[in-house]
Chain A
Amino acid sequence: MFTELNSILNTSPESFTPGEFILLSDRQSDASFLIHHFLSFYLKARCKVCFVALVQSFSHYHAVSQRLGVSLTQAKEKGQLIFLEGLKESLSVFLPQEENPDHQAMSFLRDPAAGLRSLYEFVQSSVVGSSGGGGASAEQWGPPVLLMDDVSVLLSLGVRVGAVLDFSHYCRTTVCSQLQGDVVMLVRCDGEAEEDYADDEGSEQLMRGLTHQSCLTLHVQGLPTGYCRDIHGQVEFCWKKRQSDGQHAPKKVFQFKVHDKGVSFFARGTSRAVL
């Protein structure tokens, strides 16, 4: 996890607000480094994490998390992390070799227009299983957390926007309201916000719908002045509800640079390349 990001968000693995829906979004940029931050953050906070990874393989997250100080294989063995590797499971749906059991998480790929019910059932079984059967396992984990990387690839696979919004609503109800856990989702968008893209109704609509449902949004964009090798973009933080102290502003903008072992955030114009 990135310490500068923790100080900006005013959280730490020991104390964070439960029951939050955090949305990571990007526009013509790549916000996946934030997913790595939240993954290591919640694992260090001893929460039970359900990670739905739809675009990268397990070893990718494992390699990055090792640099951030968390071992995903150990977390999986201990039962703290439930990892759905979407790529691997999708192959068995696209190219069925033998009879597959029907209760697979990615079986919605057979008929994407029907919705994401199977995926929701997988999420529900993994998060509810933790708090329900606590007596059997040796260690008690904290509140459950759902991480999704990323949601907009579901649109590319043929799922309707409404189905994805329904799925996120169901997840939010189960994880945030009932179990007081957190949900972090990554959504990616391609077009310009101002132009009226009739074609991009899908991902714009999805982003707007998810932003409405979330209570904290981190929006990653490129620099408005163009491409720079030393500043990789800017992050816009947007809080929906005021926290108990109520001191901070609802919106903040920071610029960032991604290094090998972390990400540094700085106020606009204070990059080391400029000063």
Chain B
Amino acid sequence: MAAPVKSVDKPPAECSPLNFTSFQKKSRSKSLSIPGTRPSVQNGQLLVSSGVTSLDYLLGGGLAVGTVLLIEEDRYDSFSRMIFKYFLAEGVVCRHELFVAAAQDDPDDILQELPAPILDDVAIHRPGEQPRMSCEPQDTLDAMKIAWRYQNLPKVQSALASSSRFGHYYDVSKTMEPEIRQAAKWHRFYHPEHPPLSSGTHSPKLESYSALLKSLRDVIQREGFDLTAPLPKSRNILRVGLHSLGSALWGDDLCCHDNPKNVHALTSFLYGLRALLRTSLSVAVVTVPSHLIQDRALMGSITRLCDNAIALESFKGSERETNPLYKDYHGLLHVRQVPRLNCLASHLPDHKDLAFKLKRKQFTIERLHLPPDLSETVSRVSKGELAGAATAAAACSSATSSAKHLDF
């Protein structure tokens, strides 16, 4: 199940002899109060933040626990990697556990590149540092004489006990400080470290994916995220980040051939991943280099096996980068799929034409709107014509472009 808030503690069989109706008030059960999560307003799902607040808003409040978010990478894997790092950084800040799997970069390196959180309201636990409120000594903090305006402000917490905010903002120009990063508990899976062992079964799964699934299952069971086993007293969320699945570095030939031999390896793995996540307190973000996969039907079946799916299309390197229509944005974002979890309806986005921009302190996703047409020409130049007219603009003569515009 994708962890509805009210029924995680009690298996359904226990409820029936006690209830006369199937209605259960949400306040009855000891609901999960895991830091960094909140229940959804639509259907009571337990949500975690993806690290990007505008993406949370797009997905209906956040990522539901027990689901998979598929990110189709952009061409140079720059922005999808950024969202991947935001997801892991959010896990560090919220004190969740992490599981990072990659074939290209060592997970240690990925973790060292995490963006620094902007923590104004919650202080970081630094032993031996006094809270710098004012020049007042600590014993007379009750009545402040000089900084009396600060009297009613909440005290600065000395430990990062619970980030009461749901989503956080990150400064991408700085990396996360080692103290915060080392406070997080995480597990790694680096594909070159796991040599392929010959298995006897004649299954369509690849060794790399089988090893990854097994490693993930071991972590889930060992650290107590499994919902079928009795849970420990203090529960936590496991954030699973799987980078660039399906690429050739995992040993998969989906991206290399038109008719790959292991067509069903990645889809079988995603099925197993879905099965693991539905029975544990974890969230997964999977990035796939979909621009290398020629088979659109295969991409469709990969999307259907995940719950949320977005695709990033960056303007870098294409002619759209210099197009004045897109000058405010770094790329387009397509929402491929939204899940229906434990209810009939799903949270549909308002608009489908979305664009994103990576600013220093925020990754914004907004509705793509064209800039106002302030040029002297009467009609708006279309996107295709602009590419050709841009080269003629240097000549700056109206004669070359007069055929396209109405000249009054």
Q: Do A and B come from one complex?
A: yes
Residues of A participating in the B interface, judged by any CB pair closer than 8 Å: 28, 30, 32-33, 36, 55-60, 62-64, 66-67, 71, 73-74, 77, 87-88, 90-91, 94-95, 109-113, 152-153, 155-158, 188, 190-191, 197, 199-200, 202-203, 227, 229, 232, 258-263
Q: Which of A33, A59, A67, A152 has the most CB of B within 10 A?
A: A59
Query: Given A60-B2, A188-B304, do A36 and B264 touch, yes or no (CB 8 Å)?
Result: no
| Complex Cα spacing A197 to B297, Å | 9
| Complex Cα spacing A77 to B12, Å | 12
Q: Which B residues between 228 and 283 are near A, CB-CB below 8 angstroms?
A: 263-264, 267-268, 271-272, 274-276, 278-279
Contacts of B294 in A (CB 8 A): 199
Extra A-B contacts (15), CB below 8 Å, given A63-B343, A190-B296, A191-B296:
A32-B340, A60-B342, A64-B344, A87-B279, A90-B275, A94-B268, A153-B271, A156-B271, A190-B304, A191-B300, A199-B297, A199-B298, A227-B352, A260-B344, A263-B344
Contacting chain A: which of B139-147, B185-193, B202-210? B202-210
| Complex Cα spacing A33 to B352, Å | 22
* Contact with B264, one of A63, A110, A157, A203 (Cβ below 8 angstroms): A157
- Closest-CB distance, A186 to chain B (whole angstroms): 12
Interface string of B344-359 (1 = CB under 8 A from A): 1110101010000000
Q: What are 22 residue pairs bridging A and B, where the CB atoms are less than 8 Å apart in the complex?
A: A33-B344, A56-B278, A57-B1, A59-B1, A60-B2, A60-B341, A60-B342, A87-B278, A91-B275, A95-B217, A110-B201, A113-B204, A156-B264, A158-B204, A190-B304, A199-B294, A199-B298, A202-B297, A203-B301, A232-B348, A258-B345, A260-B345
Query: Given A30-B340, A32-B340, do A90 and B271 touch, yes or no (CB 8 Å)?
Result: yes
Query: Any chain A CB within 8 A of the CB of B30?
Result: no
Contacts of B130 in A (CB 8 A): none
Q: Which B residues between 274 and 310 are near A, CB-CB below 8 angstroms?
A: 274-276, 278-279, 294-298, 300-301, 304-305
The answer on a CB contact under 8 Å between A111 and B203 is yes
Query: Given A156-B267, A199-B298, do A91 and B272 touch, yes or no (CB 8 Å)?
Result: yes
| Complex Cα spacing A184 to B185, Å | 47
- Closest-CB distance, A65 to chain B (whole angstroms): 10
The answer on a CB contact under 8 Å between B203 and A110 is yes
Residue of A nearest to B304 (CB): A188
Contacts of A90 in B (CB 8 A): 271-272, 275
- Closest-CB distance, B385 to chain A (whole angstroms): 24
Query: Given A60-B1, A158-B204, do A203 and B297 touch, yes or no (CB 8 Å)?
Result: yes
The answer on a CB contact under 8 Å between A200 and B342 is no
Query: Any chain A CB within 8 A of the CB of B362?
Result: no
The answer on a CB contact under 8 Å between A91 and B344 is no
The answer on a CB contact under 8 Å between B12 and A62 is yes
Contacts of B295 in A (CB 8 A): 199
Residue of A nearest to B44 (CB): A63
The answer on a CB contact under 8 Å between B279 and A88 is yes
The answer on a CB contact under 8 Å between A91 and B13 is no
| Complex Cα spacing A213 to B396, Å | 66
| Complex Cα spacing A33 to B272, Å | 24
Residue of B nearest to A259 (CB): B345
Query: Any chain A CB within 8 A of the CB of B4?
Result: yes
- Closest-CB distance, B205 to chain A (whole angstroms): 7
Query: Any chain A CB within 8 A of the CB of B214?
Result: yes
Contacts of A111 in B (CB 8 A): 201-203
Residues of B participating in the A interface, judged by any CB pair closer than 8 Å: 1-2, 4, 7, 12-13, 16, 22, 201-205, 210, 213-214, 217, 263-264, 267-268, 271-272, 274-276, 278-279, 294-298, 300-301, 304-305, 340-346, 348, 350, 352
| Complex Cα spacing A263 to B344, Å | 8
| Complex Cα spacing A203 to B300, Å | 11
Contacts of B13 in A (CB 8 A): 73
| Complex Cα spacing A152 to B305, Å | 11
Contacts of B264 in A (CB 8 A): 112, 156-158
| Complex Cα spacing A229 to B13, Å | 38
| Complex Cα spacing A262 to B301, Å | 27
Contacts of B340 in A (CB 8 A): 30, 32-33
| Complex Cα spacing A104 to B203, Å | 16
Query: Given A153-B305, A258-B344, do A95 and B214 touch, yes or no (CB 8 Å)?
Result: yes
The answer on a CB contact under 8 Å between B274 and A87 is yes
Residue of B nearest to A73 (CB): B12
| Complex Cα spacing A190 to B309, Å | 15
- Closest-CB distance, B121 to chain A (whole angstroms): 35
* Contact with A59, one of B7, B205, B300, B344 (Cβ below 8 angstroms): B7
- Closest-CB distance, A30 to chain B (whole angstroms): 7
* Contact with B271, one of A28, A32, A71, A157 (Cβ below 8 angstroms): A157
Contacts of A112 in B (CB 8 A): 203-204, 264
| Complex Cα spacing A78 to B205, Å | 39
The answer on a CB contact under 8 Å between B275 and A88 is yes
* Contact with B267, one of A157, A191, A199 (Cβ below 8 angstroms): A157
* Contact with B342, one of A28, A63, A87, A88 (Cβ below 8 angstroms): A63
The answer on a CB contact under 8 Å between B272 and A94 is yes
* Contact with B275, one of A28, A87, A258 (Cβ below 8 angstroms): A87
- Closest-CB distance, A263 to chain B (whole angstroms): 7
| Complex Cα spacing A88 to B305, Å | 15
The answer on a CB contact under 8 Å between A229 and B348 is yes
The answer on a CB contact under 8 Å between A190 and B342 is no
- Closest-CB distance, A10 to chain B (whole angstroms): 23
Query: Given A59-B1, A112-B204, A156-B264, do A91 and B297 touch, yes or no (CB 8 Å)?
Result: no
Q: Which of A94, A155, A158 has the most CB of B within 10 A?
A: A94
Contacts of B4 in A (CB 8 A): 59, 63
- Closest-CB distance, A154 to chain B (whole angstroms): 10
The answer on a CB contact under 8 Å between A200 and B344 is no
- Closest-CB distance, A134 to chain B (whole angstroms): 25
* Contact with B213, one of A77, A94, A200 (Cβ below 8 angstroms): A94
Contacts of A60 in B (CB 8 A): 1-2, 341-342
Contacts of A227 in B (CB 8 A): 352
